[in-house]
Structure 1
């Protein structure tokens, strides 16, 4: 079996990378190919949509957050089992440190440029040449997005030299994948998602020969160190529903590899913490969109309070932390009572309050992750620690709070970056 890989990138955000990647994954899959999709950089929502499009789990790749070894292991494993690997880039091709271009060059993955050509034609080729030559990245070609007509697409294709092939084009869509403040809508909120993806795949005009002619992709396999059984015999209760959906597949895998049994419960369905839980994880998500339901659901709130009163370790990140406060004030000024485990309140804002890679210098090692939120936590609690910004700026990163057995932060942790630090979140203080 031969695997081929491309990294779909663009000149900037908003060019339609996720839409084109989803369309391409669905189209290749319907043609009988085994497809794996990855997402560059910290992201929760795009991978969920791309997982539906590709019918497979979507992992994130980030040379800083995940580490080179994790990225290599994921890619090498996928290359053994699929025909195509599609990697969706983040922002513009050269934006960030490390950038999508850095990832493409590090693993020798050809770049497939997604260009919004809605206000241009042949100029798209100049942009493509600049993208390719600026950093000497390996090159696959161009997908022209939002073309106005077949004639518009032909103008671009006919002007393309052999070294800048046009692999395909996607017409303008009257209905695309809907967005809001943290990104695209979740798959569970789009009952017609499969129909939308099929329509995108139908609309995508593709030159299969160009993709089939790409060089084989076979990164050297790597064996990662075995995880110590730091959580053997422990049951971790994990909130998972539309309000608490921001969970990396690698995080679940890391907990399981350390011996934990994972049980899931839904605060939105008013489900209590499983009675045999030894620890709790409230991941991020959209509690602000479900604040009225969470406020009315007393069973889950009572179970959380009871668990904390019994001293169960609880890690709450971003949305999970928001749901543990005394009050959440929505963007329209509406106020909702939350679980009241953490003193203080959360208020939503119109602008980003935190964004970017960060690391928590935990005593067991440095735990990498990121932050991305629109709210502010007003609390009398003194931070236990502060994260460090990836870019090295002197200003402190997100605060990490401790209140009894609860640790909470806007920081989203990537557990595989430091399993020992991740394990410590779910063990009584001083155990790890």
Structure 2
């Protein structure tokens, strides 16, 4: 019997801040509570939204990005999800046509219809013009619209009438409680005590037109080229991975690649003053929010001494963005408060109001380009000369500095390991970085 596939929608908007994550989470939670099997993806390089969406749907949320992840890898992910689930939701990034590649590019690459989220709080009939513009500019398939922050049934009806045949698939009233945010996006779900209550409230408030929903036909993406096997270049090695509220920007796919390379993973929490695990052969310090936990990290003597000892012993250490900040000499917050760090990397980190780096980039390695992205509100003041720079995509301009000091590789760049597993092995294999 032929598999019918899944209902597949790309949730997009005119810009950031319209409520894409809220709507995607509310829809996912509501469908899961109805007994539907839901898989959710995030378009573009984002760490925080997937954590919230995982909480909403109860399954892993992977990244889809035509450049960073690759066309065939995205196709494999989507095809597998459509076989495993009843519904596949993809949350877009920024506005529908923003970026290169954009969410619209992803929609067209896989023939996935768009569910447009409109912030209706300050408009009514104009919603129709906005939605038709979103549909026709590309063009893209338009499955329907979600009107966010509607004031009343009458307001919702005005929006619906303006759409001229495009279904108003759902609406959500103005929310008394919203998902909390901070400078790099949403607050981490684990830090919100009643996050599941908020998600359930959003699902309860989402008014779904069941007839319009049922009209969306399930489909199955085309078969993708088979994945190339990854040689077990890290077999017998243990990679220590820092993971806590200060080191939380971890693609699920990155952990998968390390395991496929044959590595054993040992997680530890610098924030809880846990040392680098005994027997580790390499250390990964991913990005996160060390700037929110500077006082605790500065007092974490076991963590500090163990990472210094790992560096002195020549263990390969990859420190990315927040991970790099946490092994500099110090971090100074926006109010001028300075906290000492382990000082593996000479230099001081300074937080700032203005965004210092954002966008897709590629890092040169001995095994070819590693793709990923950058996103930070701090700068490193160091006299150490970089060994290389990343390259911005698609402009080709110089990107982030890459520093190497002994066995330490440090940069603001976040690597997507699946873009180059051989380069990943080189970063964690002694003497081959």
Q: TM-score range by the shorter chain?
A: over 0.9
Q: CA deviation at 1:322?
A: 0.3
Please say if residues 347 and 380 of structure 2, whose CA atoms lie closer than 8 Å, have aligned partners that are also in contact.
Answer: yes
Question: Does residue 375 of structure 2 align to residue 372 of structure 1?
Answer: yes
Native 8 Å contact 2:127 2:162 kept in 1: no
Match of 2:22, SS?
helix
Match of 1:204 among 203, 206, 209: 206
Q: C-alpha distance in 2, partners of 1:58/1:260? A: 22
Give CA-to-partner distance per residue, 1:32-51, whole Å, 9 cap, x none. Answer: 10001100000000000000
Aligned with 1:145: secondary structure? strand
1:112 aligns with 2:115: yes
Residue 188 of structure 2, aligned match among 178, 186, 189: 186
2:39 aligned with 1:36, yes or no? yes
In 2: Cα distance, 1:2 partner to 1:402 partner: 47
Q: Separation in 2 of the partners of 1:153 and 1:33?
A: 26
Query: How big is the shift at 1:217?
Result: 2.2
1:294 aligns with 2:300: no
Q: Do residues 20 (structure 1) and 23 (structure 2) align?
A: yes
What CA deviation, in whole Å up to 9, does each residue of 1:143-191 have, x standing for no partner?
00010111111222234332x1100100011210011110000011101
1:314 counterpart residue number:
317
Measured against aligned partners, the alpha-carbon deviations of 1:35-81 in whole angstroms (never above 9, x if no partner) come to: 01100000000000000001111011000111111111111111111
Report the counterpart of residue 219 of structure 1 in structure 2.
221
**TM-score with structure 2 setting the length:** 0.98
**Could you say which residue in structure 2 is the equivalent of 1:340?**
343
Task: Work out the CA distance in 2 between the residues paired with 1:406 and 1:160.
Answer: 56
Q: Is the 8 A contact 1:236 1:278 kept in 2?
A: yes
In 2, Cα distance between equivalents of 1:73 and 1:318:
29
1-structure distance, mates of 2:308, 2:209: 58
Contact 2:24–2:89 (CA under 8 A) maintained in structure 1: yes
Deviation at 1:392, TM superposition (A): 2.0
Q: Is the 8 A contact 1:240 1:264 kept in 2?
A: yes
Worse-matched range after superposition: 148-157 or 55-64:
148-157
1:137 maps to: 140
**Could you tell me whether the CA contact under 8 Å between 1:11 and 1:93 is conserved in 2?**
yes
1:81 aligned to 81, 84, 88, which one? 84
Write the mapping of 1:111-190 to structure 2, written as runs, cut at 5 A: 111-162=114-165, 164-190=166-192
Deviations 1:248-284 (A, max 9, x none): 0000001100100011000011111111100000000
Query: Offset of 1:404 from its aligned partner?
Result: 0.7
Moved more, 152-161 or 246-255: 152-161
How far the C-alpha of 1:361 sits from its partner, in A, is 1.7
**1:398 aligned residue:** 400
How far apart in 1 are the matches of 2:161 and 2:133? Answer: 19
Q: Deviations over 1:92-122 (max 9, x none)?
A: 1111111100000000110000000111111
Q: Which residue is 2:11 aligned to?
A: 8
Unaligned runs of 5+ in 1: none
Structure 1 residue 123, shift from structure 2 partner = 1.1
Q: Do the aligned residues in 1 keep the contact of 2:126 with 2:162 (CA within 8 Å)?
A: no
> Do 1:2 and 1:217's aligned partners in 2 also have CA atoms closer than 8 Å?
yes
The CA RMSD over aligned residues, in Å, is: 1.0
How many residue pairs align between the two structures? Answer: 429
Give the ranges of 4+ consecutive aligned residues of structure 1 lying more than 4 Å apart after TM superposition. Answer: none
Q: Secondary structure at the match of 1:144?
A: strand
- The 8 Å contact of residues 121 and 148 in structure 2, kept in 1 or not, is answered as yes
Give the 5 Å matches for 1:401-412: 401-412=403-414
1:77 and 1:221 in contact (8 A); partners too: no
Q: Which residue of 2 aligns with 1:280?
A: 283
| TM-score normalised by L of structure 1 | 0.98
Give the unaligned 5+ runs of structure 2: none
- C-alpha contact (below 8 Å) 2:42/2:50 kept by paired residues: yes
Note the alpha carbon deviations across 1:291-348, whole angstroms, 9 max, x for none.
0000011001101011111110000000000000111101111100011111111000
